[in-house]
Amino acid sequence: NAGVMQNPRHLVRRRGQEARLRCSPMKGHSHVYWYRQLPEEGLKFMVYLQKENIIDESGMPKERFSAEFPKEGPSILRIQQVVRGDSAAYFCASSLRSAELSLAYEQYFGPGTRLTVT
Amino acid sequence: AQSVTQLDSHVSVSEGTPVLLRCNYSSSYSPSLFWYVQHPNKGLQLLLKYTSAATLVKGINGFEAEFKKSETSFHLTKPSAHMSDAAEYFCVVSGETGTALIFGKGTTLSVSS
């Protein structure tokens, strides 16, 4: 049973370019979460999505960042016009059921995408 | 608001000696608490979770944690460290809405032979 898959594992972009990060949740999981890890820091929540819906985007920067989880295919985190401060590791997690139904939900994490902006 | 504080940024132990990684939390309700481990350049792996059942929680690889409500603590322990335990450990609390996880800043565990 494959775990959460993320690609690419490493991504290098010049300032001003776009970055697209992909996440395929575990089989049977329909809830996806994106987190960002800056150097020397813990992970910070960005956004929570279900299929075709953004449920909670309270951690997303107001500009340049967007996320989607279409009916078919992986979840995409898109960063437009990247800046050096966007350099970080971006982790995706998935869960089997909605957190609102139970506090005992578990999130399973992917290996992350390390974005470097030059 | 929920928050979590990991009291040590680095912990160094010798192989075969006990491990103690300290974590205090703040929450306006009874939270779910987790410990995750991250090996270099790898994703995060769930070690154990507390969800208001038994206060002493056993996890994988010999780790366990005790939930102490009076002290708002959820310290991670292991009786005997192994070289393969060297990694970054994160104490995590469920967010207010339940959708987000709130991470501590992490504790780096070093194990020497």
If interface means Cβ-Cβ distance under 8 Å, which residues of chain A face chain B? 3-4, 33, 35, 40-45, 48, 55-56, 58-59, 91, 93, 99-100, 103-112
Conformational region of residue B94, where left means phi above 0, alpha means psi within -120 to 50, and beta covers everything else: beta
In the predicted structure, residue B97 carries a pLDDT above the cut 70:
no
Looking at chain B, the whole-number percentage of residues with pLDDT higher than 70 is 97
For residue B10, with 0-12 CB atoms within 10 Å meaning exposed, 13-18 middle and 19 or more buried, which class applies? exposed
Cβ of B105 within 8 Å of Cβ of A55? The answer is no
Q: What is the CA radius of gyration of chain B?
A: 13
Cβ of B90 within 8 Å of Cβ of A42? The answer is yes
- pLDDT-flagged residues of chain A (< 70): 1, 98-105
Cβ of B94 within 8 Å of Cβ of A4? The answer is no
Q: Are B10 and B21 in contact (CB under 8 A)?
A: no
Name the residue facing A41 among B31, B94, B105 (closest C-beta): B105
Other C-beta atoms within 10 Å of B26: how many?
Answer: 13
Cβ of A103 within 8 Å of Cβ of B45? The answer is no
Q: Are B65 and B53 in contact (CB under 8 A)?
A: no
Measured distance CA(A56)–CA(B89) in Å, rounded? 26
List, for residues A8-20, the tens digit of each pLDDT value: 999 999 999 999 9
**What is the average per-residue pLDDT within B74-89?**
96
Query: Least CA distance to B105: which residue of chain A?
Result: A42
List, for residues B13-49, the tens digit of each pLDDT value: 999 999 999 999 998 777 889 999 999 877 889 999 8
The pair of three-digit structure tokens given for residue B36, joined into one six-digit string: 């995750």
Measured distance CA(B12)–CA(B46) in Å, rounded? 22
User: Which segments of chain B are extended strands (E)?
Assistant: 3-6, 10-14, 19-21, 23-26, 33-38, 44-50, 56-58, 64-68, 73-78, 87-94, 101-103, 107-112
Q: What does each C-alpha distance from B90 to A8, A117, B64, B74 come to in angstroms?
A: 24, 26, 14, 11
Size of interface A-B (CB pairs under 8 A): 69
* Residue whose C-alpha is closest to residue A115's, from A47, A34, A2, A31: A34
Looking at chain A, the whole-number percentage of residues with pLDDT higher than 70 is 92
pLDDT of B104 reads 93
Cβ of A33 within 8 Å of Cβ of B32? The answer is no
pLDDT of B59 reads 93
pLDDT of A41 reads 78
The pair of three-digit structure tokens given for residue A53, joined into one six-digit string: 């819906």
Query: Least CA distance to B10: which residue of chain A?
Result: A40
Torsion of Cα atoms, B77 then B80 then B81 then B85, to 10°: -60
Output DSSP code: residue B83: G
**Does the beta carbon of B90 lie under 8 angstroms from any beta carbon of chain A?**
yes
